[in-house]
Amino acid sequence: MNLSQRLTTCVQYEISSVEAYKGVVEALLQDDSMSISVVYQRLIEVGYVGSYSSVRRFVTKLRGPAISEGVCRIEVAPGA
């Protein structure tokens, strides 16, 4: 067994417990202001029994990386 075969056999992909509710999550995320805690509560209402952290990871992957506004810090001498 060569190195690439060994590395391939070591990598495991787990399916999220939220995957079965992907359609519900995507529908909820149509509202950009929907928080992850509200998504979690709605999933509980439709029968989800997994953890909040699983929902958080799943939603973060669906939303993609957060894009924040840049900040420009300006420093001046006192009294200037």
Give the model confidence (pLDDT) of 8-20 as tens digits: 555 556 788 999 9
In a domain, 75, yes or no: no
Tell me the pLDDT tens digit for each residue of 20-43.
Answer: 999 999 999 998 788 999 999 999
* C-beta atoms surrounding 43 within 10 Å: 23
In a domain, 50, yes or no: yes
- Residue 74 CA to its chain's centroid (Å): 33
* Domain assignment of residue 50, given as a range: 16-63
Structural domains in the chain (count): 1
Q: Which residue has the tokens 């992909």?
A: 13
d(CA 63, CA 74): 32
In this prediction the pTM is 0.66
Q: HSE on the CB side for 58, CA within 13 Å? A: 26
d(CA 69, CA 80): 27
Residue 37: per-residue pLDDT: 95
